[in-house]
Amino acid sequence: MARQLAQEEERLGFQEARPIRISREGPAEVNRATEREELQKWAIKSLRRVPQNLNAIEQVGDYQEVSPSHADVEAPIVRFYEGAFEWEHMNYFLFPYHWARRATWRARREANAVDYCYRAFLRAGAARVIVPVTPGYEERVAWFLDRSNPAVSELDRILKPPPNTQPASNDAFRDLWIELLTEHRPDMARGSGTLDVKSGFTEVNINAQANPDTQWRAKEDRDLGREIFLDGQRYEISSVKDESTFELDRPYEGKSNVKATYAAGTAPFGPPWTVNIPTSLVVLSENVTKIEDLG
């Protein structure tokens, strides 16, 4: 046994002597993006439990071309992992170098960077990643993580609806406006669950969810004046009737929908105040249409 341990130490020592390339340091925002991108990559690898080797390229003569058939198979996988989790809200905790392979200990100890957080990332031997599930994906993610039937493939768990649930819309672009909105408005978030809205009416009902922990319960002191985007249009909550019913500031302009997805924003806090500006040439965005009508 002692001889085996000595041989193992010698082998590891030889591996430690080999240089390990470390990513070049950049500005703080670039370093944070690098950290999150790498952690996201390995978190997805842990969830997939299959080799992370997507390849939608095929050789056509002397050229490499995109393979439509392979792309069609891989697109739902990419869409699920990017859409089912709110990676932009990911949190992570870094643990010391000695939780990594022994062969990398010395390289990790010697890794250095001006950015303290980035230095901790380079030296880390393990990490704990916490990422929230995108509202509306709760049942699909729970079904995906259920490994009780190993015969069900990764693609089947992604594409097939969870048991005892209705199939979701096959339109991959149905909620594209929410993705674009939350991308450009960090204060906006995809709403939990769905809403029952009727064209021409201001009353909105919050649909009950299977998981009560993710159920939105409206409260007047918290939600009055909150921004709500429905079908790409902005509204505000003008009143709250009860925890499952509220009123919009104007009649809903879209088509009636018993399961409308939505995005929720911030609510005003405290009393309003007046801001004096040094010029009269400033135009608020809500008055732009009025000026255009004058022209």
Contacts of 141 (CB under 8 A, 6+ apart): 84, 85, 133
Please answer whether residues 193 and 215 qualify as being in contact, where contact means their C-beta atoms are separated by less than 8 angstroms.
Answer: yes
- Region 261-275 average pLDDT: 84
Tens of pLDDT, residue by residue over 20-57, are 455 567 888 999 999 999 999 999 999 988 777 888 88
Q: What are the φ/ψ torsions at residue 2 (nearest 5 degrees)?
A: -65, -40
Q: Where in the chain is the domain with CATH 2.40.10?
A: 176-264
Write down the residue that tokens 């030889």 correspond to: 14
| CA dist 192 → 6, 8, 15, 241 (Å) | 57, 53, 49, 19
Q: What is the pTM of this model?
A: 0.61
Q: Is the pLDDT of residue 131 over 90?
A: yes
Question: How far is Cα 262 from Cα 249, in angstroms, rounded to an integer?
Answer: 16
Q: With left for phi above 0 and alpha for psi between -120 and 50, is residue 91 left, alpha or beta?
A: beta
- Region 137-157 average pLDDT: 82
Q: Is the pLDDT of residue 267 over 90?
A: no
Question: How far is Cα 144 from Cα 129, in angstroms, rounded to an integer?
Answer: 18
Which residues does residue 195 pair with via DSSP β-bridges, in sequence order? 206, 260
Which residues does residue 93 pair with via DSSP β-bridges, in sequence order? 128
State the fold for domain 176-264: Thrombin, subunit H (2.40.10)
